[in-house]
């Protein structure tokens, strides 16, 4: 098996689903707005008096913790260090042991954690961080995305992949011409996709359950047919937005010195104003938003008579096919429980998952 070829990852014992593997999760953020019994499961009350800092922490301590000064004075240090348990302590779960882990498949283990009733729909448990790196420099970038599908091959996210300035160039490589668009979304079976860096990582962090899942593996594009299935679940406004956006392309730029006199005087009084003036659209300077909204109007006119808006050629889904999957669960004193599934050759074209416990 060639670890650099995403096609090799499909070889799984008992996988007879062919091109369309069975889905475990489908579009959780679009199809499942709410659940009938979307209630947080009561968690056993624990005595935290010995571990949490007192509620009446002095104003001096609070200000010191928020201070921009990296070297607090001796009084501050004494006050801060007198509360050694000021950091978060992990007390939600019992110890995580191997007997609680799925014996053969990390995707099914993920499905179990994802469906934990303590993760309410309002907490958006599908939120995750996708990290990619460009070649040959190896510069890493990360962005928050939403898991839309989990099938028996891996984790699926959808996005615009056509911009040379965005993540599409990192994953699928760049073109040699001066065009700012990469072109059509690559098909998994078409062409040589070796120009970009297919290695990527996804991280899920669920504070409510004090759990984290880290996935590392290779990205492969979904077929257009698969992407269209999800595309049809998106609201029309989101479909228009996908067509209108040149994702990651610079719409406007300015040097800081040029903004001092040009920007709104009312906004200049406070770096982070709490209230945006009601006339901001009429009196604020143009910062590129108007160009984006013009594109939106153009797309609305273009598809005004279309009952169904077609899938853009540069937009689609990618599947992260895992090489390793780590399940992390917080534990007191930072002695966290960590189990990792590592994909190893099982003989021939098949593979199996080896389970390891990692040191915290």
* pTM of this structure: 0.74
pLDDT score recorded for residue 63: 52
Examine the pLDDT at 285 and tell me if it is beyond 70: yes
Q: 3-class DSSP state for residue 203? A: strand
Strand residue runs (E) in the chain: 23-26, 127-133, 140-146, 149-151, 155-160, 199-206, 211-221, 315-329, 337-347, 350-358
- 323 CB-side CA count, 13 A: 16
User: Phi-psi region for residue 312, left (φ > 0), alpha (ψ -120 to 50) or beta?
Assistant: beta
5-47: per-residue pLDDT in tens?
444 444 444 444 446 677 888 776 544 444 444 443 333 333 3
Domains of the chain: 98-227+315-357 (2.30.110.10)
Q: If pLDDT is split at 50, 70 and 90, which confidence band does 252 have?
A: confident
Dihedral, 30, 27, 111, 325 alpha carbons, nearest 10: -120
Residue written as tokens 């610079």?
A: 250
pLDDT score recorded for residue 304: 94
Cα-Cα end-to-end distance for the chain = 31
> In this predicted model, which residue has the larger pLDDT, 355 or 36?
355
Examine the pLDDT at 70 and tell me if it is beyond 60: no
For residues 317 and 229, the answer to whether their CB atoms sit within 8 Å is no
CA dist 264 → 256, 261, 288, 289 (Å): 14, 8, 16, 16
121-164: per-residue pLDDT in tens?
999 999 999 999 988 888 898 999 999 999 999 999 998 887 65
Q: If pLDDT is split at 50, 70 and 90, which confidence band does 288 have?
A: confident
**Residue 182 dihedral angles phi and psi, to the nearest 5°:** -70, -25
Report CA Rg, the chain. 25
186-231: per-residue pLDDT in tens?
766 554 555 788 999 999 999 999 999 999 999 999 998 999 999 9
Burial of residue 264 (CB within 10 Å: 0-12, 13-18, 19+) is: middle
Q: If pLDDT is split at 50, 70 and 90, which confidence band does 267 have?
A: low
Strand residue runs (E) in 222-347: 315-329, 337-347
Q: If pLDDT is split at 50, 70 and 90, which confidence band does 265 have?
A: low
Q: Is the peptide bond before 294 cis (omega within 30 degrees of 0)?
A: no
Per-residue H/E/C for 66-80? HCCCCCCCHHHHHHH
């Amino acid at each position: 098996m060639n670890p650099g070829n995403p096609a090799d990852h499909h070889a799984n014992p008992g996988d007879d689903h062919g091109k369309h593997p069975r889905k475990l999760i489908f579009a959780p953020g679009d199809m499942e707005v709410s659940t009938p019994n979307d209630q947080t499961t009561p968690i056993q009350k624990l005595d935290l008096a010995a571990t949490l800092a007192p509620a009446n922490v002095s104003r001096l301590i609070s200000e010191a913790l928020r201070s921009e000064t990296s070297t607090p004075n001796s009084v501050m240090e004494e006050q801060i260090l007198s509360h050694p348990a000021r950091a978060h302590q992990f007390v939600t779960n019992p110890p995580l042991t191997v007997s609680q882990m799925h014996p053969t498949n990390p995707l099914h283990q993920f499905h179990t954690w994802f469906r934990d009733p303590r993760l309410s729909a309002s907490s958006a448990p599908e939120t995750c961080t996708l990290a990619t790196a460009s070649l040959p420099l190896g510069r890493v970038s990360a962005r928050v995305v939403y898991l839309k599908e989990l099938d028996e091959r891996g984790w699926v996210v959808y996005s615009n992949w056509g911009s040379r300035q965005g993540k599409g160039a990192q994953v699928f490589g760049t073109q040699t011409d001066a065009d700012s668009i990469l072109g059509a979304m690559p098909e998994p079976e078409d062409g040589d996709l070796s120009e970009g860096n297919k290695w990527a990582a996804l991280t899920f962090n669920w504070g409510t359950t004090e759990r984290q899942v880290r996935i590392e593996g290779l990205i492969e594009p979904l077929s257009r047919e698969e992407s269209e299935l999800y595309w049809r679940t998106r609201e029309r406004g989101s479909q228009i937005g996908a067509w209108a956006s040149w994702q990651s392309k610079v719409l406007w730029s300015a040097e800081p010195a040029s903004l001092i006199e040009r920007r709104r005087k009312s906004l200049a009084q406070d770096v982070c104003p709490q209230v945006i003036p009601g006339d901001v659209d009429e009196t604020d300077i143009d910062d590129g938003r108007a160009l984006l909204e013009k594109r939106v109007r153009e797309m609305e006119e273009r598809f005004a008579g279309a009952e169904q808006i077609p899938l853009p050629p540069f937009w689609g889904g990618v599947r992260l096919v895992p090489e390793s999957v780590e399940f992390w669960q917080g534990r007191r004193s930072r002695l966290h429980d960590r189990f990792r599934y590592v994909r190893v050759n099982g003989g021939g074209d098949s593979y199996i998952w080896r389970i390891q416990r990692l040191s915290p």
